[in-house]
């Protein structure tokens, strides 16, 4: 496997960070995801006047990758403001863990400090498709048929 282009990913995360929509917190975050096929997908946080609807940069980047048909990643950089790099929030950790295998995550800010971690280290014991696979679909009462629910497809790891 080739070396991870950390500088390129960091520049992409820093660049997209400046386009974040964060008029309420002014806390602009950017994320860059390196896909297994070499493409880079970026995302920025998107806030809303209804505060609870805010979407983080990491999940924005995942959405861009999924829309392009990409589900396998090899690295991510998250760029946040200030001197101390922020690590992904709990919701983003769960979303990143949805796409195994684990990959390295570098968190940077505006100073020299950085955090080097992995998806697995960010969320040990993550809930996953394996938990859902343990149960059968609920039996339906009477003759009502449950809608077919297919488990998400996973490529072999
Ligand atoms: Zn988040």
pLDDT value at residue 150: 55
Contacts of 114 (CB under 8 A, 6+ apart): 85, 106, 107, 108
Catalytic residue among 8, 36, 47, 58: 58
Q: Does residue 58 carry a catalytic annotation? A: yes
**All domains of the chain, ordered by start, with CATH?**
6-126 (3.40.140.10)
pLDDT value at residue 86: 97
pLDDT value at residue 2: 76
With 60 as the cut, is the pLDDT of residue 87 above it?
yes
Condensed to tens digits (0 to 9), the pLDDT of residues 57-85 reads 999 999 999 999 999 999 999 999 999 99
Measured CA to CA in angstroms, residue 27 lies from 23, 30, 79 at distances of 8, 10, 11
With 80 as the cut, is the pLDDT of residue 151 above it?
no
Q: Flag the least confident range among 97-101, 128-132, 138-142.
A: 138-142
Neighbours of ion ligand 1 (CB under 5 A): 56, 89, 92
* 85 CA distance to ligand 1 middle (Å): 13
With 90 as the cut, is the pLDDT of residue 4 above it?
yes
Mean pLDDT rounded to a whole number for the chain: 91
State the CB neighbour count (10 A cutoff) for residue 48: 12
Pairing of strands 104-108, 114-118: antiparallel
| pLDDT confidence band for 156 (50 / 70 / 90) | low
* 120 CA distance to ligand 1 middle (Å): 16
* 95 CA distance to ligand 1 middle (Å): 9
* 57 CA distance to ligand 1 middle (Å): 7
| pLDDT confidence band for 137 (50 / 70 / 90) | confident
* 119 CA distance to ligand 1 middle (Å): 13
């Amino acid at each position: 496997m080739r070396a991870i282009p950390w500088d390129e990913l960091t520049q992409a995360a820093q660049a997209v960070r400046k386009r974040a929509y964060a008029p309420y917190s002014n806390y602009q975050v950017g994320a860059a995801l390196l896909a297994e096929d070499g493409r880079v997908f970026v995302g920025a946080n998107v806030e809303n006047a209804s505060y609870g609807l805010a979407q983080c940069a990491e999940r924005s980047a995942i959405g861009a990758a999924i829309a392009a048909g990409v589900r396998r990643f090899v690295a991510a950089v998250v760029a946040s403001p200030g001197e101390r790099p922020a690590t992904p929030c709990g919701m983003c950790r769960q979303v990143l863990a949805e796409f195994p295998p684990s990959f390295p995550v570098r968190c940077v800010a505006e100073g020299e400090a950085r955090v080097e971690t992995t998806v697995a280290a960010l969320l040990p014991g993550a809930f996953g498709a394996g938990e859902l696979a343990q149960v059968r679909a609920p039996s339906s009462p009477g003759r009502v048929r449950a809608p077919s629910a297919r488990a998400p497809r996973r490529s072999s790891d």
